[in-house]
Amino acid sequence: MSVVTNFPSKKTGGANGAPVAGSRLVVEQVGKNFLGPDGGAVSAIGSVSLDVAPGEFLAIVGPSGCGKSTLLQVIAGLMMPSSGKVRLGDQDVTGEPAHMVYLFQQYSKSLLPWMTVANNVMFAFSHRLKLSGAAAQARCRDYLAMVGLADFGNHYPWQLSGGMQQRVAIARALAAEPRVLLMDEPFSSVDALTRMDLHALILDLWSQKRFTAVLVTHDVDEAIFLADRVAVLTHRPATISEVIETKLPRPRHSIETRESPAFLALRHRLLKYLLARNDGGAHG
Amino acid sequence: MASGRDRATAVVLGIIVPLAGLVVLEIASRSGWVNPTFLPPPTTILATFWGIIASGGFAAPLAQTLLLLFTGYGIGCVAAIALGILMGSSGPVFNLFEPLTELLRPLPKPALLPALILFLGLGARMEITIVALGCFFPVLINTIQGVRAVEPTMINTARTFGHGTMAIWRRILLPASAPYILAGMRISLGLGLILVVTAEMIAGSGGLGDSILSAQRTFLVKESYAWLVVLALLGLLLTWLFTVVERRLAFWNAPPIQ
């Protein structure tokens, strides 16, 4: 059994809400090099180590182009690291692990336009679970209802607004019932109000389902609002310079939490830190 | 709605020019500006055309042309899609075939007819082969493009849900490249029609191309033009049919404006 540290304060885990034991996510000194234009190796990630407890919500913030997405793709098994390794539970990640799902930034590119919303959602699980047609439909309806799109199963993604499309992508990711949900700036291509709406939605679903969440973002407010811990990445080659526990009470509220002194203090600290780095300032 | 009226206006405008052309030809032919032996008045041609339709005489040549066209088109498209998928997804396969396809692609396909006749004679095998060769290249080029243009995020999405290679091909790569493949098939259908008619004229063993040329050679000029009308209508019908098929198969490619 893994020791659960910093476990979220709001525990609503029911029958399907219990955190899955053995799904601790460990990133051990992961480095990633790419082939540069001159044929030499360019280091995207220096050496990153992370330890994410089951059911924890971790945010990784860093400046644009610092290798955040690369790190997340390595964790997801979509890319092999050049050094170090990723472990989920007691298994090394060498391909796409069965219990990990990746939520992409661009819903317009990850939703399949030739499939209805319902078929997009079923794409997440129908090949793994040999469900009857009716059972698959029911599961699909459940997840669409969770994101408030119960009536949109027969629509095509491109018939929906951007926010609705990202809701479909969220429903699809969760319909796979992952132990770990990796999110690659999933709220950055919708407008500000929709983004706050989706933040509340993802927190609600997370508290119901108790998956481990790893969010990559450049939005400091978003990181603090959602996460238990915020890891700060440096410029390329990325390393973790700081990990901050937010310790904000849950459940969190869209307006109140963002106005609380504790939130503002964290925001101040993180922004100061990130902006100093952008000026090419001293390394902490 | 204004859009209905706009469409009606567009249709009327579109008819004016061909109609005016026919009127000019009618006058030119009847007044003797052009030799009516070479160009009978359009009304006479239409009457002859109607005779071919009413007697059912159009059926055999049309059926033969369609059979040759679709056999060659089918073979060419299937081969091109298969090779295009391999070339689009594998660097070595692309490097292996690219110089050869770039050499053969710009070659005007009717130039191959003499050689094909030597090997295959003047029959259906030669005609199908030239159609297949002509239809092959546009579909090949577009399939390669289509496979390469598939959004990596879509493939990664499928991978992260644990879909295997075969499922990714069937459920992501093929549908995602379908709009490209269909665009190539549209070009090939037009090329196929050109080539089947050319080959039929040379082979002289039936079909619309043979009908047009044989009628002209035996001074049945009205008939020759009437067969031309049959051919033009066939082209129009095939284009329309293809548009319908394309809209059904790649419906997401032109989503309606909200």
Q: What mean pLDDT comes out for the span B136-165?
A: 94
Question: In this predicted complex, what is the ipTM?
Answer: 0.82
Give the model confidence (pLDDT) of B32-76 as tens digits: 999 999 999 999 999 999 999 999 999 999 999 999 999 999 999
Amino acid identity of B212? Answer: I
B160/A76 touch (CB, cutoff 8 Å), yes or no: yes
Q: Write down the pLDDT at residue A277.
A: 65
Q: What mean pLDDT comes out for the span B213-233?
A: 95
A127/B163 touch (CB, cutoff 8 Å), yes or no: yes
Which of A96, A106, A156 is facing B252, going by the closest CB pair? A156
Tell me the Cα Rg of chain B. Answer: 23
Q: Write down the pLDDT at residue B2.
A: 57
pLDDT(B166) > 70: yes
Q: What is the DSSP letter of A18?
A: S
Q: Average pLDDT per run of 10 along chain A, which is 284 residues long?
A: 34 38 83 86 89 94 85 92 90 86 89 95 89 89 92 94 93 92 91 90 92 94 96 86 90 93 95 74 42
Distance CA A23, CA A26 (A): 9
Distance CA B130, CA B123 (A): 11
pTM for this structure?
Answer: 0.83
Query: CA of A155 to nearest chain B CA: how many angstroms apart?
Result: 12
How far separated are the first and last CA of chain B, in Å rounded? Answer: 17
Q: Write down the pLDDT at residue B256.
A: 46
Q: Do A70 and A32 form a contact (C-beta atoms < 8 A)? A: yes
How far separated are the first and last CA of chain A, in Å rounded? Answer: 35
Contacts of B178 in chain A (CB under 8 A): 114
Question: A with B: how many residue pairs have Cβ under 8 Å apart?
Answer: 57
Q: Could you tell me which of A228, A186, A210, A280 has the C-alpha nearest to residue A51?
A: A228
Q: Give the tokens for residue B105.
A: 């692609």
- Domains of chain A are 25-99+180-278 (3.40.50.300), 112-177 (no CATH)
Distance CA A181, CA A199 (A): 14
Query: CA of B154 to nearest chain A CA: how many angstroms apart?
Result: 5
Q: Write down the pLDDT at residue A44.
A: 87
Q: Write down the pLDDT at residue A236.
A: 80
Which of B154, B160, B255 is facing A158, going by the closest CB pair? B255
Residues of A with CB under 8 A from a CB of B: 73, 76, 78, 96, 98, 100-102, 104, 106, 109-110, 112-114, 123-125, 127-128, 156, 158-159, 176
A110/B175 touch (CB, cutoff 8 Å), yes or no: no
Give the model confidence (pLDDT) of B100-117 as tens digits: 999 999 999 999 999 999
Size of chain B in residues: 258
A100/B161 touch (CB, cutoff 8 Å), yes or no: no
Mean pLDDT of chain A: 86
Most B CBs within 10 Å: which of A88, A100, A112, as the mutation test of the B interface?
A112
* Domain B41-252, CATH homologous superfamily name and number: MetI-like (1.10.3720.10)
pLDDT(B171) > 70: yes
**DSSP character string of B106-164:** TS-GGGGHHHHHHHHTTSHHHHHHHHHHHHHHHHHHHHHHHHHTS-HHHHHHHHHTT--
B159/A96 touch (CB, cutoff 8 Å), yes or no: yes
Burial group, residue A97, by CB count within 10 angstroms (0-12, 13-18, 19+): buried
B154/A158 touch (CB, cutoff 8 Å), yes or no: no
Give the model confidence (pLDDT) of A240-270 as tens digits: 888 999 999 999 999 999 999 999 999 999 9
Strands of the sheet containing A238-245, edge to edge, are A91-92, A83-88, A25-35, A41-52, A238-245, A229-233, A57-61, A212-217, A180-184, A100-103
